Chains A and B, each alone.
Chain A
Amino acid sequence: LVNCQYSMATFSTSERKRRPRGDRKSQEMTMHLQQTFNAAILTSLHPRSQIDIFVEVLQSDGGNYCASVNAATLAVIDAGIPMKDYVCACSASYLGDSPIVDINYLEESSGSPEITVAVLPKSEQIVFLEMNGRLHEDNLSKVVDMAVKGCKDVYGVLDRTVREHVSQVGSSLET
């Protein structure tokens, strides 16, 4: 069983947020994170136990879900909980005539469609897919491709960081 809690600090957005947790958007985000990690973590290896993931957003400039998923992935790896693969998330949008990757708050609020994808990079299986705004069906494939490619790039960064960290910890243990 995976339990998540998502909360945003009141100072995270440009306007002070009144309710850090419990409002609808946070509840929805919590549910999405929970589903994502339930699908990715091998919960059968931890029967009768609950894995808690707490996410706190300190500064929000768009891509909240993506940053939360990437951070939680690293946290789960650091905790030593076995997962099927890294879970990497990235957002993409379609502005003008071209798909763009990793949109920020300004691009989000301008009304353009936004796709958020969480994938397992090696097998390219989509764990979570969400779309807001209006997007024509023909462009869907391009934008999803863009987002998946972005996820692969994120995976590269995450993997490198994990290996560096592990080698650091390993070397400090030896001394």
Chain B
Amino acid sequence: MSGSGAALEVRFVPDEEVLKLIADDAGAKVRKDKTQLADSAKRFVKKLENISDEEAQEILEEKNYVAALGICARGSMGNGSGVSGGEVYSFQTPKRSSKMAELASELAQTPGQSVEPGHSECPEKTGKTPQNSKHSSSNKVQQRSKKKEAVSATPYRLRKRLPVPDLYLESESEYSASCSEEEDEEDQQEVNTVSSGQKTPAKTKASCMPPPRNTLARKNKKDKMSNLVEEYFEAHSSSKVHTSDRMLQKLRKRRLDQQTLHDLLKKAPLAYAAEIKDLNQQHESLFSKWMLQLHLGFNIVLYGLGSKRDLLEKFRTSVLQDSVHLVVNGYFPSITVRSILNSITEEVLDHIGTFRSPLDQLEFIIKNFREDSSLELYVLIHNLDSQMLRGERSQQILAQLSSLPSIYLIASIDHINAPLMWDQAKLSLYNWLWYETTTFKPYVEETSYENSLLVQQSGSLALSSLTHVLRSLTSNARGIFRLLAQYQLENKDNPSYPGLSFQDFYQQCREAFLVNSDLTLRAQLTEFRDHKLIRTKRGADGVEYLLIPIDDSTLTDFLEKEDEDI
């Protein structure tokens, strides 16, 4: 495979040079295209990820890639489910068809793109892909199958085109020729997608089931009828969602932890730094206005794309240096209203003591601020809409706090649905003035705490904490945990695995001589729970089920490591 890939590459380079020649005439657009071609070449070398050159050519801008994605999803539906209802089609296809139209118009506009490398390559590829498909497991197919459709269709086009290539060498004539060419392709693609069932050669049938013809007809009819609303409900009514089954792991990319991620991102230069700076300077000129409006009893909320943290920080350092202020990092995962209130009472009011409830505390604060008019406090909240603060009660408390005349609140929101947090009463308490501050800055701090983040980082973190905690436990306790982990791994293929019931667990532990009574096990479990190593859940029948809330791969790693230790 790799050998042929190298061969491919060798052939490819001259094409690129040819391209370069053309690029001098045809300008940026072509260059862009060329790079995409280069990219596709690279793919061949690397993974034989056979994005067909046909596609690579068609994809002139990312728009086209977008369309390709659409195709993927759609194609997968046809293939993956077999029984796929028309409803799913009608959800996807309108988008697709409109995309096609858009694409077509776009193609009509774009000056000629160089296509010739494709020709030189297609034969080999079409020859190769079938083998490839035999290798690939059937559940992997969806996206590829689409590509294969395109690929398998290429011979027809190739034949049509092969006489043409000489034309391309003259850049003058290229325009008209390729324009018609593109349209050709366009038609071709349409044909491909609509009647792929008929066209796909038998080789690919091994992996993909061609959708029967009548569903297609049905689909087309439905396209016209369905409107957006229906589509929505149809799309959400079917519990099955069809996407390709490819996994990140298959890409054999190592998972990045937070640190490497950070380092890598540092290497990547921030695009449009100058413009972003301009934008921020515009916002910074508003600082004095903000101050004035804060003092007049308004509170300020900032919205818009991009991290507003730096902006608020700048505001703090430039204007609030001499006044009492409190910065709340709302994105911090363990922030609570109580901690905000605590810092007000302890740091600002110098009150030592605890309160029974946040409401009491709030009352205390309000009373203090009402009585002492010299007290002034600026509260800066980054991400007022974060997970921890978006609750109704927290918002209520914050709103009441902000309604105090001597507390000045300036906050930022990011979530698209953030304004839904507030009802009329809260809005009037907050007394917001909205400021749009689109900064386009990356949310570095804000996202760094998000633990779900594509699971890339969570693995190592969880693993290290797991081993750390378990090391401090007795060997019996470790054994108990191992039992549970093993049981969970045995059942990892069962999607409705509820967990291990307490009784069964107790039985197993007894058999392994790990505990001697139900009470000791419970005590042990409580300890696990305190460390968040396990979670208990009551089933429908009232039985307690135990689960380890850690993903399977981490758990496997952990067990392996444990085995090594022993």
**Chain B binds chain A:** no
